């Protein structure tokens, strides 16, 4: 009779649910899992730091819409992975973290790497458990998969003590799961769908704010159909970007364009906002929400307790976004929809105006490179299949504004944790998930340092991408904020010139230093043509402040104009704003 260890139980369940990739950093506590996954033909990517392994699992899920899995060893393996777990938790990304643990038999005897791991991860996971009996390992893995991928998705944690994982048991003793994933996600009540269509039909200036609930429900096609039939523009957060092509008057990246002064002046604010799998919070402007107070609000979410959090809604619909959109599309086909051409045209013109926000930067041919020029040069060379990974503070904001995403799962950006250092792991995961696509990573010179050794991982596992560093020799967003607050002073935010391209070349990457605007395009094409991971270290103007930074400081583009005027008068610091001036703005 066949006997098997705990690692084989783990691998068999993962294989049965379609997992073929495992992200890890080897440790003795998890060797049975690695052995079985290798024997079963999994693609195992071993990183240089557990944080990167967790971010790769998260990046895989963001790119594919499917479960990402990482395995980390006990003790420091868990503490290193916590940042990736927290990032996935705040953004509701489906991820399974498999962890080693000190032996049950040595509990309270100070064993190697013995820590209260379960207590540490519970606040930042959707579900967390310890397996105490070897025959139940497969059962618990199945539970973990179900918890991660159904309802609101999120990271789950399953630890197996080393004496349980290494134990050998008879196969007939194993509780093998079957039929544990639901085949039919929750659908809305028909009367709720009819009410939503009635509200939408009466609206003159409706918008949809789409979030991760759309992407992880696999509802991109349904959202696009809904937008086209009803002629409703769709704004998308980073997880949903590209679900509706952004080169059309119906698709927009990022929330808030409709609150611009141009739109307010020429058309007015939205009178109906549909939150489709998107939670009110930072990306809707927080307490200073971009959703007009007078607008009607429809909120669709798979979790009923989410509806109405942060603000009152006029219609709440609990259900899977795909199921809701399918019924909305079916109902919309039989209705006549008002002409919304003026509303769509106004939004499209406002977007085009923003894309021309820095015309002089596009003409400048001398150093230093304006970050808007760099983002523009990169964005115009992207194809519809290409993947964009946005890391860093201001660097991420420049490329997020410049890029036009035409397909879903091709934009990987920041979430509610505001976590830096995700770029390199996300880029590797995206290349693994979409080997046919070119992957462009845009990051800052601060954030690239957090997982810099993963350039070696990319070389070793043949995962080529191009990393473009917006190098302002500082933690740019922090430096600019300090200059505004402290009359030009900076504290612990200066980095100086670092030749990251040389460091990356030491790992076997292609590297170049770029100092002039006209060098950007040719260097990018050369980098992609090498077929290697590449690092383009681009020196940008450190004094240009992102509009997002100004907005976060309670300022506007007026501050940037005042800064430029001050520079023209020979002054070298940003204009100072005290607390009173900040509040007034």
* Catalytic annotation, residues: 29, 50, 113, 418
Concatenated DSSP letters of 290-319: SS-TTSEEEEEESSGGGTTSSS--SEEEES
- CA dist 581 and 576 (Å) reads 9
- CA dist 260 and 400 (Å) reads 17
| Residue at token pair 């100086």 | 496
Answer for the pair 270, 207: CB distance below 8 angstroms, yes or no. yes
Nearest to 151 by CA among 306, 327, 362, 338: 306
Answer for the pair 36, 165: CB distance below 8 angstroms, yes or no. no
- CA dist 530 and 327 (Å) reads 48
Answer for the pair 379, 402: CB distance below 8 angstroms, yes or no. yes
For residue 242, what are the contacts with CB-CB under 8 A and spacing of at least 6? 220, 236, 251, 405, 406, 407, 408, 409, 410, 411
Nearest to 256 by CA among 350, 352, 388: 350
- CA dist 371 and 364 (Å) reads 12
What is the sign, positive or negative, of the torsion defined by CA atoms of 517, 519, 525, 527? negative
For residue 295, what are the contacts with CB-CB under 8 A and spacing of at least 6? 269, 270, 271, 272, 273
In DSSP terms, which residues pair with 316 in a beta bridge? 299
In three-state secondary structure terms, 476 is helix
For residue 550, what are the contacts with CB-CB under 8 A and spacing of at least 6? 556, 557, 559, 560
Answer for the pair 41, 91: CB distance below 8 angstroms, yes or no. no
- CA dist 243 and 222 (Å) reads 9
What is the distance, to the nearest Å, from the Cα of residue 418 to the centroid of all Cα atoms in its chain? 10
**Pairing of the two strands 272-276 and 234-236:** unpaired
């Amino acid at each position: 009779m066949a006997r098997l260890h705990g690692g084989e139980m783990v691998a068999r369940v993962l294989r049965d649910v379609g997992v073929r990739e495992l992200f890890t950093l080897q440790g003795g506590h998890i060797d049975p899992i690695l052995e079985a996954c290798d024997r079963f033909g999994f693609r195992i990517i071993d990183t240089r730091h557990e944080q990167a392994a967790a971010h790769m699992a998260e990046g895989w899920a963001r790119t594919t819409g499917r479960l990402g899995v990482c395995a980390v060893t006990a003790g420091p393996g868990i503490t290193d992975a916590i940042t990736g777990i927290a990032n996935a938790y705040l953004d509701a990304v489906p991820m399974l973290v498999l962890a080693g643990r000190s032996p049950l038999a040595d509990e309270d005897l100070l064993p190697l790497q013995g820590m209260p791991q379960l207590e540490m991860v519970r606040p930042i996971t959707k579900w967390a458990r310890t397996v105490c009996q070897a025959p139940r390992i497969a059962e618990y893995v199945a539970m973990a998969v179900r918890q991660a991928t159904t309802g609101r998705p999120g990271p789950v944690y399953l630890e197996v003590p080393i004496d349980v994982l290494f134990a050998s048991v008879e196969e007939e003793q194993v509780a093998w799961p079957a039929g544990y994933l639901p085949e039919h996600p929750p659908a809305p009540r028909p009367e709720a769908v009819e009410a939503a269509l009635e509200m939408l039909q009466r609206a003159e200036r409706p918008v949809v704010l789409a979030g991760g609930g759309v992407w992880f429900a696999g509802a991109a096609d349904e959202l696009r159909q809904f937008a086209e039939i009803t002629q409703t523009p769709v704004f998308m957060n980073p997880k949903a970007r590209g679900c509706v092509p952004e080169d059309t008057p119906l698709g927009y990246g990022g929330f808030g364009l409709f609150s611009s002064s141009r739109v307010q002046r020429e058309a007015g604010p939205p009178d109906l906002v549909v939150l489709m799998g998107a939670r009110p919070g930072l990306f809707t402007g927080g307490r200073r929400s971009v959703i007009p107070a007078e607008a009607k609000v429809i909120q669709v979410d798979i979790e009923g307790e989410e509806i109405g959090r942060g603000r009152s809604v006029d219609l709440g619909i609990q259900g899977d976004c795909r199921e809701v959109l399918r019924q909305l599309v079916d109902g919309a086909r039989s209705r006549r929809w008002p002409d919304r051409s003026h509303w769509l045209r106004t939004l499209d013109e406002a977007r085009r105006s923003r894309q021309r926000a820095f015309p002089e930067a596009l003409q400048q041919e001398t150093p230093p490179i304006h970050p808007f020029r760099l983002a523009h040069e990169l964005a115009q060379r992207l194809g519809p299949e290409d993947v964009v990974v946005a890391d860093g503070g201001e660097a991420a904001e420049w490329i997020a504004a410049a890029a036009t995403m035409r397909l879903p799962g091709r934009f990987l950006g920041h979430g509610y944790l505001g976590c830096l250092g995700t770029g390199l792991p996300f880029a590797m995961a995206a290349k693994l998930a979409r080997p046919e696509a070119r992957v462009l990573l845009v990051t800052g010179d601060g954030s690239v340092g957090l997982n810099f050794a993963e350039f070696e991982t990319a070389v070793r596992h043949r995962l080529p991408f191009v990393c473009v560093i917006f190098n302002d020799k500082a933690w740019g967003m922090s430096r600019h904020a300090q200059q505004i607050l402290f009359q030009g002073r900076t504290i612990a935010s200066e980095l100086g010139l670092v030749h990251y391209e040389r460091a990356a070349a030491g790992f076997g990457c292609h590297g170049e230093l770029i100092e002039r605007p006209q060098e950007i395009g040719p260097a990018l094409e050369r980098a992609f043509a090498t077929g290697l991971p590449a690092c383009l270290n681009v020196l940008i103007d450190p004094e240009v402040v992102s509009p997002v930074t100004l907005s976060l400081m309670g300022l506007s583009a007026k501050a940037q104009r005042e800064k430029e005027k001050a520079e023209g008068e020979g002054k070298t610091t940003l204009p100072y704003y005290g607390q009173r001036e900040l509040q007034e703005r």
